[in-house]
Amino acid sequence: MWRRPQGPWTRHFKRVLSLTLDDWSDSDIDSMIEVGGNSYANSIYEAFLPKDHPKPKPDSPMEYRTKFIRAKYETQDFLKPSLRISSKAGLESTNSLNSVDNSFSSTSRKHAPEDTREFVGQLNITVVKGSGLAVRDMLTSDPYVVLSLGEQKAQTTVKASDLNPVWNEVLNLSVPRNYGPLKLEVYDHDTFSADDIMGEAEIDLKPMITAAMAFGDPSRHADMQIGRWFMTRDNCLLSDSIVNISSGKVKQEVYLKLQNVESGEMELELEWARLD
């Protein structure tokens, strides 16, 4: 059992089962926190979780929960084999993931041209299609999509009178060093009045960018799964979103349920491009 000294991130102590991971120092725990929390860590440690190996639920037997925890962290069964480490490495995997951004940051500050220091890569986003979009003009709508990342925005063309539009348009956005979620908004184009909102969604970029940086040059790897953004009650995913290396590129298919609207789904494909 370990106990974390009081801090602003917690209000009480929790007990954990020892998994022969040695003692955790304050710096080890801080590193784990800096990794980004459970969702961020799970996108790596559960990237290869089989469908026939479900996560424990609150009412699952302690024996099953213990077995799952050991498989996840001690033997790292759901992690890519080449990233697995022995438990005595003392959180090397966590620290190595955490150090990716740090090493990239320091290298970029020293060697990158002045105009690229603030960016870590580029996203090529294919807006594939929308399905069952909301009606805003009597019987139909004239939808278009706006993507936002920080101060940047990109927009698709307008699809006239179409509630199931197919765009297949590629929009490009640079990824700043301190990036947040990719924001998607769908609007109905109006000629004589303000455009009406037809729903919105947010895309968590951490699973994709973290995996892409950890694996380096994707052209050196065979096709494989390298990460996953999990569907939860708190996000807009219709299903888990898998991060893959495909034909030498890092890609992620995303299926979204639009929020704050009566209906509508969107399909996107993200592609990560490094800044050389």
Task: Summarize pLDDT for 52-74 with one digit per residue, the tens.
Answer: 778 888 888 888 877 887 777 66
pTM of the model: 0.63
Residue 10: inside a domain: no
- Asked if 67 and 139 sit in the same domain, the reply is no
The verdict on 157 and 211 lying in the same domain is yes
137 with 220, same domain: the answer is: yes
Residues 6+ away with beta carbon under 8 Å from 9? 33
165 and 53 in a common domain: no
On whether both 38 and 168 belong to a single domain, the answer is no
134 and 269 in one domain? yes
In a domain, 154, yes or no: yes
Top-confidence residue, 77 or 188: 188
Q: Domains in the chain: how many in total?
A: 2
Is the same domain home to 58 and 155? no
Give which of 182, 121, 102 is closest to 147, Cα–Cα. Answer: 182
Res. 245: pLDDT tops 70: yes
How far apart (Å, rounded) are the C-alpha atoms in residues 199 and 244?
28
Is the same domain home to 185 and 251? yes
Q: How far is CA 270 from CA 101, 155, 161, 217, 245, in A?
A: 20, 15, 27, 17, 12
Domain region containing 65: 26-74
Least trusted range by pLDDT, from 16-20, 23-27, 249-253: 16-20
Residue 256 and residue 172 share a domain: yes
**Cβ proximity of 219 and 248 under 8 Å:** yes
Residue 83 in any domain: the answer is no
Domain termination site, one of 16, 50, 74:
74
Is 268 inside any structural domain? yes
Q: State the CATH number of the domain containing residue 239.
A: 2.60.40.150
The residue out of 43, 58, 74 marking a domain boundary is 74
272: left (phi over 0), alpha (psi -120 to 50) or beta: beta
Please tell me the distance from the alpha carbon of residue 51 to that of residue 55, in angstroms, as a whole number. 10
pLDDT reading at 135 higher than 80: yes
146 and 243 together in one domain: yes
